[in-house]
């Protein structure tokens, strides 16, 4: 892969097996500093597995991952988070028995700057006013949309430079999908680079600068989102014609 100036994430030849099944087949791509880049594809294409491989949540068979010029291929997941590469998992995975505020505070567990944590907590509440209203509420009693807001807010408490978002719109009503995507745009405009995995290909392509399309564990097409939205094959497969 050619060297690109301003690349914050580079993935080279990422290969992952689940037993005898090869889930990823040499996936390579990059994310530029300040970009929103999206991975789209059908169920089972390898999108979430790619994020898990980057975060080292699953073991890679082969491949290399560079974050901000450093080889993080063998780093532990907690070290990766401490380096400000943070994943918001599919299904939210909030701490259901803790309060909203406690969930957000857990997001800052690697930090020791108390004044900064307080400032960022206020910023999260500013981004998600409903979380402020429900700050003492047990997180497991929130609606699905509110839980997604909490999962993103918890990740923001780590002060990420790169945010990996795994299916943020899954299971949400259309009006909440619009709200979540607007928040993602604002997070990016505030300076956070985003790698977005999303089944809603139209929304993802409308938001992202560039996209990679995965099919059966391989990147089959990539390019600027605007070009892919007008590609006949992409439209037929992912945009309903």
Higher pLDDT, 67 or 93: 67
Q: In this predicted structure, which of 69-73, 150-154, 176-180 has the lowest mean pLDDT? A: 176-180
Residue 1 has pLDDT above 80, yes or no: no
Mean pLDDT, residues 209-236 taken together: 95
Residue 192 has pLDDT above 90, yes or no: yes
Residue 123 has pLDDT above 60, yes or no: yes
Mean pLDDT, residues 22-29 taken together: 95
| Calpha distance 50→29 (Å, rounded) | 11
Task: Place 90 in a pLDDT band, splitting at 50, 70 and 90.
Answer: confident
CATH code (residue 211): 3.40.50.300
Q: Give the structural domain span for 158.
A: 7-238
User: 127-159, pLDDT tens digit by residue?
Assistant: 999 999 999 999 999 998 899 999 999 999 999
Consecutive H or E run containing 81: helix 77-82
Q: Specify the number of domains making up the chain.
A: 1
**Any idea what the Cα angle at residue 60 is, between residues 55 and 64, rounded to 5°?**
75
- Asked if residue 1 is part of any domain, the answer here is no
- Is 75 strand, coil or helix? coil
**Burial (0-12, 13-18, 19+ Cβ within 10 Å), 46:** buried
- Asked if residue 44 is part of any domain, the answer here is yes
Dihedral sign computed on CA atoms, order 235, 236, 240, 241: positive
- Asked if residue 11 is part of any domain, the answer here is yes
| Calpha distance 134→146 (Å, rounded) | 9
Cβ-based neighbour number of residue 133 at 10 Å: 12
User: Cα separations (Å) of 205 from 159, 166, 218?
Assistant: 25, 15, 19
Confidence at residue 39, expressed as pLDDT on a 0 to 100 scale: 97
- Asked if residue 153 is part of any domain, the answer here is yes
| Calpha distance 120→226 (Å, rounded) | 34
Mean pLDDT, residues 55-65 taken together: 95
- Asked if residue 129 is part of any domain, the answer here is yes
Mean pLDDT, residues 215-230 taken together: 96
Confidence at residue 3, expressed as pLDDT on a 0 to 100 scale: 42
Confidence at residue 34, expressed as pLDDT on a 0 to 100 scale: 97
- Asked if residue 2 is part of any domain, the answer here is no
Q: What would the DSSP string read from start to end of 170-211?
A: TT--HHHHHHHHHHHHHHHHTT-EEEEE-S-HHHHHHH-SEE
Cβ-based neighbour number of residue 93 at 10 Å: 13
Percentage of residues in the chain with pLDDT exceeding 70? 98
Confidence at residue 167, expressed as pLDDT on a 0 to 100 scale: 92
Mean pLDDT, residues 59-78 taken together: 96
Task: Place 241 in a pLDDT band, splitting at 50, 70 and 90.
Answer: low
Residue 94 has pLDDT above 80, yes or no: yes
Q: Please give the structure tokens belonging to residue 234.
A: 């992409």
Confidence at residue 199, expressed as pLDDT on a 0 to 100 scale: 86
Cβ-based neighbour number of residue 10 at 10 Å: 19
- Considering the chain, what is the average pLDDT of its residues? 92
Residue 92 has pLDDT above 80, yes or no: no
């Amino acid at each position: 892969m050619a060297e690109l100036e301003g690349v914050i994430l580079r993935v080279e030849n990422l290969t992952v097996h689940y037993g005898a099944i090869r889930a990823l087949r040499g996936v390579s791509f990059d994310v530029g500093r300040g970009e929103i880049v999206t991975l789209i594809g059908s169920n089972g294409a390898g999108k979430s597995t790619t994020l898990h491989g980057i975060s080292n949540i699953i073991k890679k068979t082969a491949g290399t991952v560079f974050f901000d010029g450093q080889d993080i291929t063998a780093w532990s997941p907690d070290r990766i988070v401490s380096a400000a590469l943070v994943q918001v998992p599919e299904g939210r995975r909030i701490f259901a028995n803790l309060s909203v505020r406690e969930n957000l505070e857990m997001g800052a567990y690697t930090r020791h700057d108390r004044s900064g944590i307080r400032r960022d907590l206020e910023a999260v509440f500013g981004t998600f006013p409903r979380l402020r209203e429900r700050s003492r509420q047990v997180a497991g009693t929130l609606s699905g949309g509110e839980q997604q807001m909490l999962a993103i807010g918890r990740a923001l408490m780590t002060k990420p430079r790169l945010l990996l978002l795994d299916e943020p719109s899954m299971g949400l009503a259309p009006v909440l999908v619009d709200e979540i995507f607007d928040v993602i745009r604002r997070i990016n405009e505030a300076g956070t680079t985003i790698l977005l995995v999303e089944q809603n290909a139209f929304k993802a392509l409308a938001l992202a600068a560039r996209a990679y399309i995965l099919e059966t564990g391989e990147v089959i097409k990539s390019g600027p989102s605007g070009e892919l939205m007008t590609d006949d094959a992409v439209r037929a497969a992912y945009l309903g014609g």
